[in-house]
Structure 1
């Protein structure tokens, strides 16, 4: 069995880590660089930073944070939010990020995935998908602008297209499960897993140890991402890995 990854996610707004429920009700929870260093100490396999209000073109705050994080942590980390061009990708990678996450910009300009993969390698390009189930239950739509705008683009068709363009990984967030602590959206995650041959990171809804097991035990996801559980000290990364090991799942 391939080893699985445990990934804390840090949603960053105005230089602080924040967390909400179903993409709203945002609260500050700490300093991103300090939290990143703590998760590195706990044995996280990777980290993901998402600038959740990247509406301005001024990326200086994020670049500074990436540079400071790169000096403090020794595990791969991905940065996303407001990355709209090849130059933005280059800036983040030069600042110390290992990968960049593209969401709204890729939906608006899918060719950015191809350009990024050709220039920096597919392993650097993560497609982030904010997915919400359609009211008629026929599938999921991809949302942009931090979950505020429905593109009416089918999630399964979108991940297939992105893989063909060169995306090396899918960061899949269930908007329905996000922040609820009721467990990952297994139906959505499995549907995306079945559609692509690149690694899938499950995100949204993790609330207890068993949730990690449920999403990693079959071939549902390659990695499990959590935020609230780790930020509020409910669980440590080490506790999650010890539990998974007992259950026969090998994390890195």
Structure 2
């Protein structure tokens, strides 16, 4: 990232600084922000001071680092509460959880990745839960991959031409293999993963569409030992039905797909 001038450039820098706090450690120093965004320390310091004055960022004198502030929490809570995608999905998430007994989630596509908006936790004694509001990359995990499969070609190219960070030993990082998998995801209508974003978790996900196109994904996730090929085979058709109902409630249209007949997964 290079520093630019003018109102638009300044706005983008402020937004990039805020978004950096959604990806990494809970606290960041001026040097880390400067290095990660390619901005001068003086520019970063001014932005952080301005955000701190408005409560979006809080400064810790002991560590001399910054964390998200109470105003950012209020914005996030309001965004979740007012999300059309979350509102449309929640009744269907609970219904699917009651049928499958595993955790069901709804994610939204955001700039540079996706975030979990909400979840209905499974009923098993050992179950999975996800971190709401944190941005995750699109190449790791079923929710991200099913979104990536329906992104514009230029967005797919940008992501696959960049660094594909390995979150676990099972995270897919081969661009050619990912391109081939995206084709299969579009054809069958769902994505599956085993240990790609979190080593001990498995999941199945289907994209959700609004009037303007892709908006997010609904997924079923559980401990990796329970998300077997047989589980995927049973879950995928039910998940597709749920995603289509959410899409219909939002006024969107799902693209054509084949009826899932394969339980092929990435390991």
Question: TM-score over 0.5 for the alignment?
Answer: no
Q: Of Structure 1 and Structure 2, which has the larger fraction of its residues in helix?
A: 2
Larger Rg: 2
TM, length-normalised to structure 1: 0.30
Q: Of Structure 1 and Structure 2, which has the larger fraction of its residues in strand?
A: 1
Higher RCO (C-alpha 8 Å, min separation 6): 1
TM, length-normalised to structure 2: 0.28
